[in-house]
Amino acid sequence: MLLNFADLRASARRRLPRFVFDYLDGAAEDERCLHRNAAALERLHLQPTCLRDTAEVDTAVEVFGARWAAPFGVAPIGLCGLVRPGGDLLMARAAAAAGLPYMLSTASNARLEAVREVAGAAPQWLQLYVMGERGIAEQMVRRARQAGFGALVLTVDVAVSGMRERDVRNGFALPFRPGPAMLLDMLLHPGWAFSMLRHGAPNFVNLTEDGTAGSAASQAAMLARTMDRRLGWESLTWLRRLWAGPLLLKGVLHPEDGRRALKHGIDGLIVSNHGGRQLDAVPASVSALPAVLDAVDGRIPVFVDSGFRRGSDVVKALALGAKGVFVGRPVVFGMAAHGEAGARGALDLFATELQRTMILLGAPRIADIERGHVVRADPHA
């Protein structure tokens, strides 16, 4: 029975070889930021209001003209095909069935057109990495526009990849050369190993327009997140020529970047520390959220990710002023354990907890969740 994040994580750990689980579960350096995300949310308490009519609860929100069944969605996760064959499609279908947005990673293992097709009318966004060869980004943006993706999300916190020590210790790199210990670990997880043998190793199929795997160098560069370090604020003009729809920045933590985003016509921000997977010394995303919200002063929607494990965590972010939350590890752990049904189960957990929290908080609609509903714990208590 999967009742919470710990259950999802434990179930995924049983099915996956260590190097795959560590790739999903791990973070940068000492992984302090990973734990800081959870601790910061724990220090936020919800303060209910009583005697409110909560007989009917509505969790729906509208974002850029699209209806979301609830104010959260699936964050971009790379290499889902290593977790399960067709992992991107499984999670996209689960999100669509729940009426929630799905953000596809540039480092996905399914063609973006195929992922868009399974969503039907459900909203989908494309997360964009800009590598040294900008032609890769250009063809992806063009294809995303033609396929009908609703928004483009430029990730801005990966000038270089974070030092993810678990991956280094496991020897996880491309080209993939498993040693004896890794081979034994694969054999000890026969369900995963059989599925990989049957379907073959995943490739970053969106790096080329025709869906071929691309060069070994480009595959390795994507895994290592070797990005264009010349990308600057002036580069947004280049992106605007390619994309006319909503353009968001993901990975913003500094309020000054929020103000710069307004000057450059950005349509939305995602406050994020990449789930603790980049710079280990940065603050928790939810701790950085209020200052970024103050900087943009309600002129564009601000979302947040990193460390959200409960529906009540989503409510905390909404009470601070976030438009919505993106969730990664809980959904991919559910998918790892039970495929599409597991991903849907994780989303259903969040939805159920969100609704229950709103009832207990005395807020029957998302608009009823207010700043006064969240308080910071006394640090001396």
Active site residues: 274
Q: Which two tokens stand for residue 156?
A: 């801005």
Relative to beta strand 61-63, strand 268-271 is unpaired
The torsion region of residue 99 among left (phi > 0), alpha (psi -120 to 50) and beta comes to left
Closest CA to 238 of 159, 146, 142: 142
d(CA 252, CA 30): 22
Relative to beta strand 44-46, strand 374-376 is antiparallel
Whether residue 17 contacts residue 264, with contact meaning beta carbons closer than 8 Å, is answered with: no
d(CA 253, CA 248): 14
d(CA 327, CA 314): 9
Closest CA to 6 of 231, 329, 379: 329
Tell me how far apart the 2 most distant CA atoms of the chain are, in Å. 63
Whether residue 75 contacts residue 341, with contact meaning beta carbons closer than 8 Å, is answered with: no
Q: What is the CA 244 to chain-centroid distance, rounded?
A: 23
User: For residue 70, how many other CB atoms are within 10 A of its CB?
Assistant: 23
- State the DSSP code for 340: H
- State the DSSP code for 153: E
Whether residue 344 contacts residue 327, with contact meaning beta carbons closer than 8 Å, is answered with: no
The torsion region of residue 291 among left (phi > 0), alpha (psi -120 to 50) and beta comes to alpha
d(CA 53, CA 364): 7
Residue 11 makes CB contacts below 8 A (sequence gap 6+) with 2, 333, 334, 336, 337, 338, 342
- State the DSSP code for 326: E
